[in-house]
Structure 1
């Protein structure tokens, strides 16, 4: 296995933050440790402390690379300017914060290393199980030290996890009508750090995302692609950091992606 630059240091940093910051706060949050950034969008003290620690650690690895975290961008959206130029570390300090704040899994820590809008390496850590999904461009996808490739789920119909809670009622109804009899709709985990591994591990075949913020998707899209899956915009263009459009389809194979695009958007 060829490791991406800084792999061991990034992995060690993520596990340390999970152990020392995230897990001690899990199911141990006071009322004033949780805030609502926007309707149905929470942030906790653990998100902020995790991002601070990850930012400090990544900054030491490569002083020439910018570090952009979700919570820093929530405070100053201008940090996203030029995210597709040069080398950038992108941090999601706790993905699935609503789950974390409710005291349930899944949630995860996600880091991506991006150069000129193209993700070079990505890491997704499940703090509870310790599972580390990671990939480097051109070098395959791994769960811990085991190389993985996508495989279909075992259902009669392909399983599709469709995030509809950001969509209007008319579009929700349209998607469900289009999927009826063609896909088996399953609940989404409300956590990209779990949804992307599900596309690789034979749990889900298709995932439809509406919001495509970089910290939610840079690492996961690379992981799926390196495992043999496909992550593209509905018009067929590959996902790229810095593209601010909404809507994306992830699939466990090119054929499944083609079917999803035709059925859900055709």
Structure 2
């Protein structure tokens, strides 16, 4: 499948099994994987179709799906060892989806030899498609996106999905506010300029691989509090997404205490 065909597949799956259930989930169509961790039939059906079609098109690739991993954690080991893999987040922002928020997305990424080479985010309720290919830039509905650096005289604005950090400041920077609680919206909103950096505690490949490639291709930086760059197979906890190198360096210097307070 070429890049457009993968996006078309994601749109078709959303139209078939996700959008018809938006604000129309029936009794029994929402379950808990763990306390507070929701999954819906839309997640399950979307992942099944995406996995089937990607496996048919790329029979030698390993497909890592969020829901599959929740029932078989050994899939992470096989994914890390794979030469060629895809990640699938069938409904990113499931809680948002369940509660009727349009801030949810379908996400796919392609990894070769431990490096993300293509990424896709489809936001069905917003009608926005984000696509990136390594070395070829990031595109929003077919238009090239470049994230401008934060001006030197403007303090960067941060968002986070880490609940204990909301309302806290990193040094003299403005207080952190809540993110959109959906990586398929968070990363795009940073590229659109609604935030200058994002802090995450957890590192699941299906959550971060697509957006990390897009931010980098748009001029931003994605790395960890220890300064190592993001890798889709490293699974290192703690992620800093930044609009530019200067913002990443400044936030990283100040973030150690914040990450220590994350739980």
Could you say whether these structures have the same fold, taking a TM-score greater than 0.5 normalized by the shorter chain as the test? yes
Secondary structure at the aligned position of 1:204 is classed as coil
**Residues 19-30 of structure 1 aligned to structure 2 (within 5 Å):** 19-30=15-26
Q: Please, which of 11, 15, 20 is the counterpart of residue 11 of structure 2? A: 15
RMSD of aligned residue pairs (Cα, Å): 1.9
Q: Is the contact made by 1:87 and 1:116 (CA closer than 8 Å) also made in structure 2?
A: yes
Partner Cα distance (1:39, 1:260) in 2: 32
2:186 corresponding residue in structure 1: 195
2:74 corresponding residue in structure 1: 78
In the comparison of the two structures, how many residue pairs are matched? 255
Q: Is the contact made by 1:153 and 1:203 (CA closer than 8 Å) also made in structure 2?
A: no
TM-score by length of 2: 0.91
2:260 corresponding residue in structure 1: none
**Residues 1-266 of structure 1 aligned to structure 2 (within 5 Å):** 6-84=2-80, 85-151=82-148, 157-165=155-163, 172=165, 176=168, 178-179=169-170, 181-265=172-256
Q: Is the contact made by 1:153 and 1:159 (CA closer than 8 Å) also made in structure 2?
A: no
Partner Cα distance (1:88, 1:48) in 2: 20
Partner Cα distance (2:45, 2:149) in 1: 38
TM-score by length of 1: 0.90
Deviates more, 1:218-227 or 1:52-61: 52-61
Q: Is the contact made by 1:83 and 1:241 (CA closer than 8 Å) also made in structure 2?
A: no
Q: Is the contact made by 1:6 and 1:61 (CA closer than 8 Å) also made in structure 2?
A: no
Unpaired runs of 5+ in structure 1? none
Secondary structure at the aligned position of 2:5 is classed as helix
Q: Is the contact made by 1:153 and 1:204 (CA closer than 8 Å) also made in structure 2?
A: no
Q: Which runs of 4+ in 1 moved over 4 A?
A: 152-156
Partner Cα distance (2:78, 2:48) in 1: 21
**How many Å apart are 1:141 and its aligned residue?**
0.7
Partner Cα distance (2:250, 2:150) in 1: 15
Judged with a 3 Å threshold, the aligned counterparts in structure 2 of structure 1 residues 264 and 56 are, in CA distance, closer, same or farther, namely same
Judged with a 3 Å threshold, the aligned counterparts in structure 2 of structure 1 residues 245 and 110 are, in CA distance, closer, same or farther, namely same
Partner Cα distance (2:137, 2:204) in 1: 24
2:261 corresponding residue in structure 1: none
Secondary structure at the aligned position of 2:130 is classed as strand
Unpaired runs of 5+ in structure 2? 258-263
